[in-house]
Structure 1
Amino acid sequence: MVGVGHKESRFVIVNLLWLVVAVLFFVGLCTDESRADHSANSSDAPSYQRINSYVELFRDPTAKIPFSEIAHQQFKPARQFLNFGYTDDVIWLKVSLDEKDFSQQSWLIQFGIPYLDQIDSYQWVAGELVHYHKGRGASLRTKPFPHRDSLIPVHFDEGRATIYLRIFSRDGTTINAALMTLKEFERRDQVLLFFLGGYVGIMLAMALYNFFIFLSLRDRRYGYYVFFTLAVLLNVAAYYELLHEYLFQGSDWLNLRLNLYTFFIAIAASIEFVRHFLRTQNKMPRLDRGLACFHLPNFAILAYATFSPHPTSLWLFSMLLPLLLVIAICGIRSVYLGSDALSRYFLIAFALFITGVGMFSIRRFGVLAPNPFVNYTFMAGSVLETMILSFALAHQINWLREQKQLAQDQLIRQIRENNFSLEQMKGKLEETVKIRTAKLLTSLHEKEMLLNEVHHRVKNNLAVIASLLGFQILREENDSPVCHALRAGQSRIQSMSLVHELLCSNDNLMGIDVRDYFQQLSHHLLTTFTGAEQQIEIDCQVDELVLPMDVLVPCGLIATELITNSLKHAFQDHSCGRVCISLKKKNEQVELMVSDDGCGFVEDYQENLGMRFVKMMTQQLNGSLDLCCQRGSCWKVSFSMQRS
């Protein structure tokens, strides 16, 4: 039911607009120039008279009859309105005036809009022929009365005046002439200039207003609308000879073509404006192609106006009428498609404009009278169209702002909802993290306690083993091979037990400070394998390193074997000596060096069980073992800090 209501409202709008257009055409068709100026004749009778009642007419199809023979031609009374459309005939008008019907002021014949190409007047005054040449462009610089309008003075001779007017115009012969006093003409001209100034001001203001909107929104429709408004304004200025009067006074060639050039610009602008304003390319592709096709004849007319010696607007107005029909169909179609409010604004705004342009175009073909209603409907339509469409575009801006505000409000609401959801999720995640962290800390603490307990028990077990070996050593002779073997085993067990002891006393269960370890290890070995009469020193040059247990245990066993070997064999014939232990980090490698200043190695040296054990531990570290003897003995073991 809602869709049916919208269709009925659109149907009513379109039919009302068609009714308004039909009424305007009917008024323009039925209103002749005498009726249009009835109020002027009744109120201003002493200073203004229409020329029709004083005119007789003769048409010269050959355009070759001179003035000397024109008096012998047969003149006929003029018809209701003097509109001959596009014709190559020369129109002769015989104006017969009696001074009794006019006041004593200075009278003249004024030819107004639309302007004619050539007007020649001939009068006999006191036996002499007075000739004036007027017409489009020429009237601005010819005396008397240089003006846009063609002004011809009336000279009464013995109470009468007979004026022959030769009129020729290729651009449509529509004669809009009147008899008036000079003061009346000046008054009417001031009124016309006032309205023209107001028209120009309104159009420029609307163009500037929409131009600023275009700069702010970057919507091409506003750009094309500014182009269309300026083009219409330019065409009106050319039609009323304002461009020729103020800008191009010295160019007759350009003056003949200004109307066509400005009309070309206005038509091109109207085509593009309608296409972009109604979005015909998306909504009405066939009509859009039809509109775009009008560019071809428009450019052809531009070429014709440029290269033809005597251009006429016949072809332009012949193209303009079907173009107006297509534009009207586009507007109606856009309304029936249920588009936004801009389509209805467009149809309302263009109804009067298209009507005015249509009557203006039809008058060129000799159908309508040159009355003020037809003359100014085009201007009034363009002003109303410009203002209504400007308001329509302003309405579009307000609508866009409302939509933007609604979108922003919806986005803010959605963001707030999402933030609330995220806060809830964050709270749940934090609570979950706290619970799991507590569980992990508890588990870690339990594991640390278990690991510490393991190290403690291993240390105790190794200490028990070392004590048992110590008891066995006491039962053996001091220098017996069994005693030496038991002491070597006890030292190895003591080096491993020292690792577990340091792990138990250290907070870090993953690694041990090697400096403390080697100092305690060297002290233990020194007290075990040296007698009271020997003065042997062990120098520990160890960097501050933390090694994991799986690296430190084989490293400690290697150091134990090498130190033990130096203490047992290097100082047999010496009462003093020095053993140096060095542990340095170089890049990612660790170098362990054990050297002494003892007797060194003999030539027939044979590898014993301890050296085989050192090599086995070195292989376990994926390292290398080198013997570099300069003085005494020096062993160097290189390995990586991390086990692969």
Structure 2
Amino acid sequence: MKLNSGIVQILVLLCCLLSFPIFSESIPLNKNQIRLGTYSQILEDPDSSLTIDSVQKKDFVSSNQTNLSFGFTKSAYWLKLSFLNPTDSAKEKMIEVTFPLIDEIDFYEPIHGSYKQTSVGITKPFAERPIKSHTFVFPIQIPPGESTYYFRFKNDDSMQMPLILWEPTAFYTNIRDIQYINGVYFGILIAMAVYNLFLLLTVRDKSYFYYVFYILCFALFLMSQYGFAYEYFWPEFSWGARRMNPFLAGVLELSILLFTRDFLDTKNTFPTLHKLNRFLIALCAVAAVSAFFVNLTIIALQVAVLGLLTVFSILAFGIKALMVGFRPARYFMIAFSALLFGGVFYTLKTMGSIPVNFITEFSMQIGSGLEVTLLSLGLGDRISLLIKEKQEAQKELIREQNDSIAKQARLNESFARFVPSKLIHLLGKEEVIQVSLGDQIQKEMTVLFSDIRSFTELSESMSPQENFNFLNSYLDRMTPAVEKHAGTIDKFIGDAIMALFETSVDDGLMAAIEMHRQLKTYNVDRNRQGYKPIETGIAVHKGPVMLGTIGSKNRMEVTVISDTVNTASRIEGLTKNYGAKILLSETAFASLNDPSQFLYRYLGRTFVKGKKEDLAILEFCDTISEDAEKFFKTKGIFEKGVLEFFQGNMESAKLHFSEVLREFSTDSAAIWYLQACRTPLKAD
């Protein structure tokens, strides 16, 4: 009886096994998500004639692809999915087709011995989808035991059928994350487009127009590619929605080529390749327009091939630009390398040459954030380079004009030694003979004032000839330092120098630093010849000035008259009090392009003769001087001491200045403040 019982159990087991199909690998139903590619069985329908009844009698072939992809094909494809639910209750699941650009999807769900058909696709209204998502999602109830589901796919574009089986909770969590991530991503693209649009309106350089056009095309293309455009922009425009993707692909390729042509200036730098670029632009324009008229399979293949040609064209331009030393090409190649190679992967994926996976599906999206940022930086670098070239060209033009004037009028050349030609030009005159008494112009300028300390005492120890030789030797070294930074010396007042800067405060400050460096070299030469070193004080101030001619009809000069000049002279006088080399007014400091590149400290507020209100001044130190390290180390402590001083906390101020002197014993300003803490100052 035991033997017979064992045999019966074996027979029952065999019968159970024979009653179900034998799976090479069953589909797990206990996971949050699983890709169904390798669990699918495939049947090609070359003439799209099969029905749900006929395919049930056909032999399907097992798939070996994780994400099913068959490239460009006119065939329809049937997929068969068999589930085995070992429990006694139905399992709720969702099947997602993650490729959103499929023309027709027919889903057949078994119900009461027959099949219920659900038809969706990009050629059908968005409202007909069972789940409102940018991808195609089908909720199912898998009954106990065995059940078989069928899909029919038909697409005039690339045939891709990536399927995922989801737990409902996991699906909705995933779709929420995708919506959030893509919202942030597309928000960044739009923000960059708006930002560069403002730059376009400000700079008025057409490069920004092409860049904004490219970003918008790129964003719209990805929205279409990933189904968001159909979901949010044209959910009822089924016919046009299907054709918008190849149209946007063609426009995107067109925008990239236009941007490349302008950014790399291909017309002037690569005339031969420029012709190829124009030809590709024309092809992309034709492909984009024909997307609404030509067979979808043909136009999809066209834009895919044009995409590859565009990639290789842009790489050729970028490499060529790098070879000729075009500086902005570095940003261009770094930015586009990730995107363009991603484009190659994406195109090959679309053509079915490589499998569909996360990398190939989102290859264009992965590097685009970095690409957009780097291209924006590249544009800024390119504009800076163009501005610099224009400035150099303008300077060269001015030099040529000055040479021409010098050759035509020797008198003007001689007179220019006494009246700088820049001052004549500022008055709106081309030649000195055009200047009349009373000519004047008001302008915002930077004024530099320099003076030798204790010059009277030094002068008394020299003969008149030695005085002239000394002054000429000194001024001969200082003048190039001013002119090197686009400055104009208005006049020499004995040992004092008054210079004007039309460009920026940075030029005036750099000229002051250069003068300080030249003075150090000059003192080395004086020491070698047995003379004592000299010290100077330099002040830089900015404000409105009145430039014009004064004097009489027979004797006149061009000069500057304004409170700005007087203030600069008064600030220079303060260098003696503080023992400072270079002082800058708060007005000038506020106009610096980038103060962080200089070494400075806040010196406090002071009453300047002729001014009703006190004025804040700052002390600057040459970064290559021997005192630079100590100046930098004590900057914070010194400024705290200044703050305490002006708040009336003299004891606290003395502690700070004493701490400064322990580190920087020759700090004249700290010594002055320490003395001022002990002896109350008298108002001027």
| Match of residue 317 from structure 1 | 304
| Match of residue 40 from structure 2 | 55
Aligned-pair distance for 1:271?
1.2
| Match of residue 326 from structure 1 | 313
Secondary structure, aligned partner of 2:65: coil
Residue 271 of structure 1, aligned match among 257, 279, 288: 257
Kindly indicate whether residue 276 of structure 2 is the aligned counterpart of residue 280 of structure 1: no
Is the radius of gyration larger for structure 1 or structure 2?
1
- Is the contact made by 2:214 and 2:255 (CA closer than 8 Å) also made in structure 1? yes
- Is the contact made by 1:139 and 1:146 (CA closer than 8 Å) also made in structure 2? no
What pairs up with 1:167-566 in 2 under 5 angstroms? 167-308=153-294, 310=296, 312-340=299-327, 342-399=328-385, 421-423=417-419
- TM-score, normalised with respect to structure 2: 0.52
Aligned-pair distance for 1:319?
1.9
| Match of residue 113 from structure 2 | 127
- Is the contact made by 2:69 and 2:160 (CA closer than 8 Å) also made in structure 1? yes
- Is the contact made by 2:93 and 2:165 (CA closer than 8 Å) also made in structure 1? yes
Is the alpha carbon distance of 1:423 and 1:324 closer, same or farther for their aligned partners in structure 2, counting shifts above 3 Å? closer
- Is the contact made by 1:137 and 1:244 (CA closer than 8 Å) also made in structure 2? no
- TM-score, normalised with respect to structure 1: 0.55
Aligned-pair distance for 1:268?
1.4
Secondary structure, aligned partner of 2:165: strand
Q: Kindly provide the CA deviation profile for residues 69-110 of structure 1, in whole angstroms up to 9, marking residues without a partner as x.
A: 101111111022411000011111100112249997520110
Secondary structure, aligned partner of 1:92: strand
Q: Kindly provide the CA deviation profile for residues 313-337 of structure 1, in whole angstroms up to 9, marking residues without a partner as x.
A: 1111122212211111111111011
- Is the contact made by 2:90 and 2:142 (CA closer than 8 Å) also made in structure 1? no
Which is worse superposed, 64-73 or 150-159? 150-159
Aligned-pair distance for 1:221?
1.3
| Match of residue 577 from structure 1 | none
| Match of residue 500 from structure 1 | none
Matched AA of 2:59? Q
- Report the Cα distance in structure 2 between the residues aligned to 1:78 and 1:174, rounded to whole angstroms: 13
Is the alpha carbon distance of 1:192 and 1:419 closer, same or farther for their aligned partners in structure 2, counting shifts above 3 Å? farther
Residue 64 of structure 2, aligned match among 65, 73, 79: 79
Q: Which has the higher helix share?
A: 1
- Report the Cα distance in structure 1 between the residues aligned to 2:420 and 2:209, rounded to whole angstroms: 50
Q: Kindly provide the CA deviation profile for residues 174-218 of structure 1, in whole angstroms up to 9, marking residues without a partner as x.
A: 111110022211111111111211111111121122222222222
Is the alpha carbon distance of 1:291 and 1:424 closer, same or farther for their aligned partners in structure 2, counting shifts above 3 Å? closer
Q: Kindly provide the CA deviation profile for residues 411-469 of structure 1, in whole angstroms up to 9, marking residues without a partner as x.
A: 99999x9996133999xx9xxxxxxxxxxxxxxxxxxxxxxxxxxxxxxxxxxxxxxxx
Aligned-pair distance for 1:402?
6.4
- Is the contact made by 2:123 and 2:239 (CA closer than 8 Å) also made in structure 1? no
- Report the Cα distance in structure 1 between the residues aligned to 2:420 and 2:197, rounded to whole angstroms: 50
Q: Kindly provide the CA deviation profile for residues 115-156 of structure 1, in whole angstroms up to 9, marking residues without a partner as x.
A: 311111112222232111122253721252132211122232
Kindly indicate whether residue 87 of structure 2 is the aligned counterpart of residue 91 of structure 1: no
Q: Which has the higher strand share?
A: 2
Secondary structure, aligned partner of 1:113: coil
Aligned-pair distance for 1:163?
0.5
Secondary structure, aligned partner of 2:72: coil
Aligned CA RMSD, in angstroms, stands at: 3.3
- Is the contact made by 1:59 and 1:89 (CA closer than 8 Å) also made in structure 2? yes
Secondary structure, aligned partner of 1:154: strand
| Match of residue 599 from structure 1 | none
Identity %: 26
- Is the contact made by 1:125 and 1:156 (CA closer than 8 Å) also made in structure 2? no
Larger RCO (alpha carbons 8 Å, 6+ apart): 1
- Report the Cα distance in structure 2 between the residues aligned to 1:115 and 1:125, rounded to whole angstroms: 28
- Report the Cα distance in structure 1 between the residues aligned to 2:416 and 2:305, rounded to whole angstroms: 68
Structure 2 residue ranges without an equivalent (≥5): 1-26, 403-412, 424-431, 433-684
Kindly indicate whether residue 68 of structure 2 is the aligned counterpart of residue 69 of structure 1: no
- Report the Cα distance in structure 1 between the residues aligned to 2:157 and 2:420, rounded to whole angstroms: 81
| Match of residue 46 from structure 1 | 31
Aligned-pair distance for 1:366?
1.0
Secondary structure, aligned partner of 1:141: helix
| Match of residue 17 from structure 1 | none
- Is the contact made by 2:207 and 2:379 (CA closer than 8 Å) also made in structure 1? no
